Chains A and B, each alone.
Chain A
Amino acid sequence: MIDPSIIRPEIALDDFLPIFVSSALVLVFGGFYVGIYTAVKVKLLKPWTMLFAYMFWVLTAYCLYLMGSLMHVGEFTAKALVVAAIGLFLLPFAVYYMQNQVHEENEH
């Protein structure tokens, strides 16, 4: 017989699957965001598809929020997740800007 005090998950049993799925989707949607952003910038996709890139970032941020809420993360980890979401938003801008600058300098 197991001591009932041991069976005390801080995370509800039904929440494990949503946690794993939402945390996987953070990067799947994040990947779509940066992928579409870059593909539009290098003219592999039409400019209007950029809208989808931003939609994917919103989904990424939502999944981060959902994951953090279900895990009951502390204040510090919640802030870390917000920093990660903002970092992901800015990342393709920064990387593309720097790469393009170097490209321009070497072509002109």
Chain B
Amino acid sequence: MASKYLTGVGSESKQLATWYFTFAAILFGAQLLFGLIAAIQYVMPGFLYGILDFSIARIIHINALVVWMVFAMFGSVYWLLPDETGIETVGIKIGKLLFWIFAAAIVVVVLVYLLIQVGPADETTIWFITEGREYIEAPRWADWGIVVVALGFVANLFLTGIKGKQTGIVTVLMADMIAFAGLYLAGMFFTDNISVDQYWWWWVIHLWVEATWEVFVGAIAAYGLIKMIGAHRQVVEMWLWIEVAMLFGSGILGLGHHYFWIGTPEYWWEIGALFSALEPLPLVAMFIHVLYDWGKTQGAQEEKGSTVSVVNNKPAFTWFVLNAFGNFLGAGIWGFFHTLPQVNLYTHGTQFTSAHGHLAFFGAYATILIGMMYIAVQGTNGIKIMKHTKASLWGVSMIVSGVVGMTVALTIAGYVQVLVSRAQMGATWAGYFDGQSGMWFSQAMDWRLVMGVVTFLGFIFLAKDLLTTGKNPVHER
């Protein structure tokens, strides 16, 4: 018999969470598929030319990334709310309706990207095809739809949080999610000055991924550690508050590192440098936290004479541990080595950024959200101890190897661009092409494609494992 808290059966909120996770997994697959198409186009520029150009494949690749993560984040909240508050989510029927609206809107937006692709240079395109801001390119009608869905989601969260038990995790999520939803508004209005436009656009992108999303990860990690290894709630929640302070303390003004070269005043150099130098500290601290809780809980178990692992969901815990490392590596190391203005002058806009983006989004967010999917699968199938299967091990190994491989390849390509296009050729037009045509750059792009294929194969193993867990006898029920 599974513990009550693990059981998703009978909870409408948890049922809704599984819908969100399922749609997120489909979008994750789409993200990888369109990433592969874009990677092939780097190697064979004529591939699908005139049918699905690089610009469109890239739009779908990066927007699907953001949207699948948002879906999985909403799913994670709907999953943990009944556990944390002790009640069913308030307004769950509206929550379900909003899910269908959100999913339908995403399908329509993707179909428009695929079938219409470009429009006239006027307001029609902004309203019905694309707004053209990287990562949040949805047309304006979809923007407003997203706002409605986000408001409904925040209302579900707040009403449940106020009516039910108010744990530290739910309180942090309530504050974080309202900031998360509110910041989206900064990317919705039009200005005819590109510097002003970029200034506000970064509020969405940076303050999402380096502030509100990181705090979200902290809250989910806290929930996961309590559920998977039985960590002390008081310790975990106390830590969560420190994490919130550190992440917001360094992350909000870390925004300055995006303001070095877009036409903003020069004082952003100092602000960006100072807070960017401090930004890795919470990531290092998050890493200590997982190690601390795991060591303490396992140590307490061993003091009682038991050598049995305290972990009740091995695949999910593996992804959570990968999150601690991945966040540190992708957001921390790959972010830090090109964050100061003196070196960012050369690395800005090269494949270094792409390398950082791949490893940071994967390490900081994809890992923990996949971990949450495993927690949901465990609960939905009434599993007490969830073990690794061949598919879960192949999935995690191939996805991690693939993403790390892509990151290394892109880093090499970025290094070539820094030396050739920027330092030697002075960021000139000729320098751009010289950098791109070199052997090291070309070979790096070949390897990026190979590693992309490895990642995609890993995703197939992951999907298979998630879909077949219910029937797998290896897990203890």
Q: Which residues of A contact B (CB under 8 A)?
A: 2-3, 6-11, 13, 16-17, 19-20, 23-24, 26-28, 30-31, 34-35, 37-39, 41-44, 71-73, 76-77, 80-81, 83-84, 87-88, 91-92, 95-96, 98-99, 102-103, 105-106
> Contact partner of B235 among A24, A81, A103, CB < 8 A?
A103
Ordered by A's residue number, 23 sampled pairs between the chains whose C-beta atoms are within 8 Å are: A2-B428, A2-B431, A6-B426, A8-B426, A10-B345, A19-B337, A27-B336, A30-B284, A38-B292, A39-B291, A41-B292, A44-B291, A73-B342, A77-B341, A84-B278, A95-B242, A95-B292, A99-B238, A99-B239, A99-B289, A102-B232, A103-B296, A106-B235
- Give which listed residue, B234, B288, B296, B340, contacts A95 with CB less than 8 A: B288
Q: Would you call A27 and B333 a contact (CB within 8 A)?
A: yes
Those of B254-307 within 8 Å (CB) of chain A: 270, 273-274, 277-278, 280-281, 284-285, 287-289, 291-292, 295-296, 299
> Is A19 a contact of B281 with CB atoms below 8 Å?
no
Chain A: which residue is nearest B302 at the CB level? A43
Answer yes or no: B424 CB below 8 A from chain A CBs. yes
Nearest B residue to A90 via CB reads B281
**Is B184 interfacial (CB-CB < 8 Å)?**
no
Contacts of B239 in A (CB 8 A): 95, 98-99
A73 CB to nearest B CB, Å = 6
A11 to chain B, nearest CB (A): 7
Among B71-79, B127-135, B415-423, the stretch in contact with A: B415-423
Contact of B296 among A42, A71, A92 (CB under 8 A): A42
With an 8 A cutoff between CB atoms, is B82 at the interface? Answer: no
> Is A35 within 8 A of B291, CB to CB?
yes
Contacts of A83 in B (CB 8 A): 274, 277-278
Q: Which residues from A are CB-within-8-Å of B280? A: 27, 30, 84
On whether the beta carbons of B346 and A91 are closer than 8 Å, the reply is no
Task: Report the Cα distance A19→B343, complex, angstroms.
Answer: 8
Chain B at the A interface: SS class? helix
CA distance A10 to B423 in the complex (A): 9
Report which of A31, A41, A80, A102 forms a contact with B273, defined as CB distance below 8 A: A80
Interface of A is mostly: helix
B428-450 residues at the A interface, CB under 8 angstroms? 428, 430-431
User: Which residues from chain A contact B332 at a C-beta distance below 8 Å?
Assistant: 27
Interface of B with A (CB < 8 Å)? 232, 234-235, 238-239, 242, 270, 273-274, 277-278, 280-281, 284-285, 287-289, 291-292, 295-296, 299, 328, 332-333, 336-338, 340-343, 345-346, 415, 418-419, 422-428, 430-431
* Residues of chain B lying within 8 A (CB to CB) of residue A3: 426
CB proximity of B169 to chain A, nearest CB, Å: 15
Is the pair A35, B288 in contact by a Cβ cutoff of 8 Å? yes
Contact, CB under 8 Å: A77 / B340: yes
A28:B281 contact, CB within 8 angstroms: no
Shortest C-beta distance, B337 to chain A (Å), equals 4
Give chain A nearest CB distance to B372 CB in angstroms. Answer: 24
A11 to B419, CA, bound (A): 10
**Closest partner residue, chain A, to B239 (CB atom):** A99
Q: Are B287 and A34 in contact (CB-based, < 8 A)?
A: yes
Given the known inter-chain contacts A43-B299, A71-B343, A80-B277, please indicate yes or no for A96 contacting B292, CB distance below 8 A: yes
* A56 to B: closest C-beta gap in Å: 12
In the complex, how many angstroms separate the beta carbon of A83 from the nearest chain B beta carbon?
A: 7
Residues of A within 8 A of B341 (CB): 77
A27-B284, A28-B333, A106-B232 known; A16 vs B423 contact (CB < 8 Å):
yes
Other-chain contact of A38, B278, B288, B418 (Cβ < 8 Å): B288
Contacts of B277 in A (CB 8 A): 77, 80-81, 83-84
Task: Decide: A2 near B425, CB < 8 A? Known: A26-B336, A27-B280.
Answer: yes
| B242, B277, B340: residue with the most chain A Cβ atoms closer than 10 Å | B277
Q: How far is the CA of A83 from the CA of B419 in the complex (A)?
A: 30
Which residue of B238, B342, B423, B428 contacts A98 across the interface (Cβ within 8 Å)? B238
A34 touches B288 (CB 8 A): yes
**7 closest Cβ pairs, A-B complex:** A42-B295, A6-B426, A23-B337, A71-B342, A80-B274, A9-B423, A84-B277
- Asked whether, in the complex, the Cβ of A77 is within 8 Å of the Cβ of B273, the reply is yes
**Bound CA–CA A34/B328 (angstroms):** 12
Given contacts A2-B428, A38-B292, 11 further A-B contacts (CB under 8 A): A6-B425, A10-B342, A20-B338, A27-B333, A35-B287, A39-B295, A77-B273, A77-B341, A92-B288, A102-B235, A106-B234
